[in-house]
Amino acid sequence: MNTDELLAVTPEEMAKSLLARRQLLKQQLPTVIRTLEAEEQNLAPKAKKALEINKNINSKVSDLKEKRNEAQKKANELLKIVKESREKLIQNDGMINLDPSWKKEKMFEEIEDIEKKIQTSALDHKAERKLLDRRKKLIEENDKWLKQRRDLNPEMVTYIDARREMNSLYRLADKSHRNMLDGVEKAQPQHEKQKKIRDELREIRRQLDRARELLSQSDKAVEHWERRLDKGFGELGDGFKDLLSAQRKVAEGGDSSFARKKTSSKKTKKSLNNKKKEEEE
């Protein structure tokens, strides 16, 4: 419909069109609402289940993280004790039989370096798993060395037992860390699924609220336009304002609301420009 055709539409024609639309909505909205309610009832349990699964996964990941942190903390404390004990044994010639190849590998320094990277570096899961594999290999080599040294040097029993406990704690930390990474990877697609269902349910409920609102307004809207067609479009009282006042004003040579807004916008722009010039001067 072009401008001329739109201007040619009479108030009666417009009112009849609006009335017909409101009557059609009044007829169709109950069916629309029932359909949306059925979709909501179907989707709500799925959204609840997806949320519960997501929470369970996150809870398990959180528990594993706590377990890992606790094991690593204890292992790190033992690492300090073991290093001090090792230095004392060296000073007292208790480490004479230390395997040169093992000493060269500097196990303590490497474990500390791995721990630092895990705790402070922004690593992806692949890099974290690589570090865990390296620490696992170090601990396995250390266990083998400990067994040999325990048999050869009874004086090192306390030192060896402390190192063995440290290794056990690192293994526990690594296992928890690996399981945590598995949980995080598993949680990602589940989180996306839960978000998708949640968004769908939110949209359905938004449409349902809007449909109910329109239905609640239908009777009043139908009555409004029926009265307008019956009584006219002027001032009727009881909230029925004069709908043709603007039309008469334009017919008498006045500006339309669009023209008034345009004029007001120009005045505002001119005022701002003048103010800017004054500030510059």
pLDDT band at residue 105 using 50, 70 and 90 as cut-offs: very low
Is the confidence at residue 89, as pLDDT, over 70? yes
Is the confidence at residue 104, as pLDDT, over 50? no
Residues 154-195 have pLDDT tens digits of: 557 677 778 888 888 888 888 888 888 888 888 888 888 889
Q: Are 166 and 75 in contact (CB under 8 A)?
A: yes
Residues 233-269 have pLDDT tens digits of: 777 777 777 666 666 666 666 555 555 565 555 556 5
Residue 240 phi/psi, 5-degree rounding, is -90, 95
The more confident residue out of 162 and 108 is 162
> Which of 92-106, 137-151, 209-223 has the highest average model confidence (pLDDT)?
209-223
Q: What is the pLDDT of residue 185?
A: 84
Mean predicted confidence (pLDDT) in 79-108: 64
What is the residue-averaged pLDDT of the chain?
77
pLDDT band at residue 100 using 50, 70 and 90 as cut-offs: very low
**Cα separation, 91 vs 95, whole angstroms:** 8
The more confident residue out of 58 and 125 is 58
pTM of the model: 0.52
Is the confidence at residue 102, as pLDDT, over 50? no
Residue 237 phi/psi, 5-degree rounding, is 80, 175
